[in-house]
Structure formats: structure tokens, C-alpha cells
Amino acid sequence: MKPGVLPAPVQYLVVAGFLIVSVLVEGRWGHQLVFHGARPDPCVVVVGASASLLGWRRGAVFGLIGGLLSAALVPVNFGTQIISYTLGGVITGWIPVFIAADSPAISPVAGIVCTATVGISSMLMAPSHHLHVWALHFVGELVLNTVLTIPIFYLLRFLRIGIKQRPSLFST
């Protein structure tokens, strides 16, 4: 066992538990979690935070699981959700390569990157003819998910989730 990090199976169970709770929160209170017309996506928040801590491979796995769980709530565009969440996990998992793992900027960047990847890829795969309405909701969701990613990221870090990070490309 690496010092300061939980064993891998325990990490996976903790993140899976976070994903299940996020889907339950979204399913039970999702319609009530509205702030100025925008709704946060708790599953995207957990996928973004966990992928930035665990890397792109595990981010892909948890993105796939999150996409399956989230798509089970609303079976519209089932495949689109699965693919976009997986893609969000993969791209967000690459963040520690470009930003130092101990940087305070990594958690908001993870929220922005994961939400943008999921939202834009979903829109490209299942376009809407009301682009201006989608853009307004997307910007609101981007802000809400970014704000919510910060505490989830640090809670996962507090629970010792994450791999031993390699130095970033830009660290000295």
C-alpha cells in the first residue's frame, strides 16, 4: 500500500458509492435543484472530481458507470449520455498532466472541463433546434457544477482517494 493513499479496491468502492448517492440525489431532488433556471448535474460533478484524482483510465470507467446510472434515470438519448460521460471522465483524467496535483486550480478546472465535455458532446450527438436556450442552461450548469466540484474534490482527497500524482508538464 502506498503511504497516504487507500488501497485501490477501497478507492473504487468509495467513488462508486459517491456515484450512487449522486444519482439518488439527482433522481429524488433533481427537479428541485434549480438556480436561476439551471440545474446542477451531481453525477458529472462526481465523475469530474474522481477522474481528476484517479487519472484518465479510471475516469473512463467511472464516467461509463456514471453515464449508465444517469441514463437509467431518464432513458432519453441513452447512448449519448453514456458516451459523453465516459468522454468527460477521460478528458478530465488528463488534467493532472497539465496542472500540478497539489494546485488549488485543479478542482475548478476539473468541474469546467468535465461539464463542458459532457454538455458539448451531448449537444453534438443529439442536437437541439433551440441552441440559444441550450446555451443559457449550459452556462448555468457549468457554473453550478464547477462550484459543486470543489467541495467534492476536497472531500475525496480528504478520504485519501487518488493515485500518487506524477509531476505535471509545467511544474518546476
Per-domain residue ranges of the chain: 8-25+38-158
pLDDT at position 24 is: 92
pLDDT at position 3 is: 55
pLDDT in tens, 68-123: 998 888 767 788 999 999 999 999 999 988 888 778 899 999 999 999 999 999 99
- Rounded Cα–Cα distance for residues 170 and 2 (Å): 25
- Number of helices (H), then strands (E), belonging to the chain: the values are 7, 0
Q: Which of 19, 7, 94, 101 is nearest to 51 (CA)?
A: 94
pLDDT at position 29 is: 87
pLDDT in tens, 22-47: 999 988 888 788 888 788 999 999 99
Assess whether pLDDT exceeds 50 at residue 1. no
pLDDT at position 170 is: 57
Burial 128-139 (b: 16+ CB within 10 A, else e): eeeeeeeeeebe
More confident position, 27 or 168:
27
| DSSP reduced 3-state for 35 | strand
pLDDT at position 72 is: 87
Fold of 8-25+38-158: Arp2/3 complex 21 kDa subunit ARPC3 (1.10.1760)
If you average pLDDT over residues 164-170, what whole number do you get? 54
- Rg of the chain taking only CA atoms, in angstroms: 15
pLDDT in tens, 53-68: 999 999 999 999 999 9
Please report, for residues 40, 118, 164, the alpha-carbon distance to residue 140 in angstroms, rounded to integers and kept in the order given: 8, 14, 33
Assess whether pLDDT exceeds 80 at residue 169. no
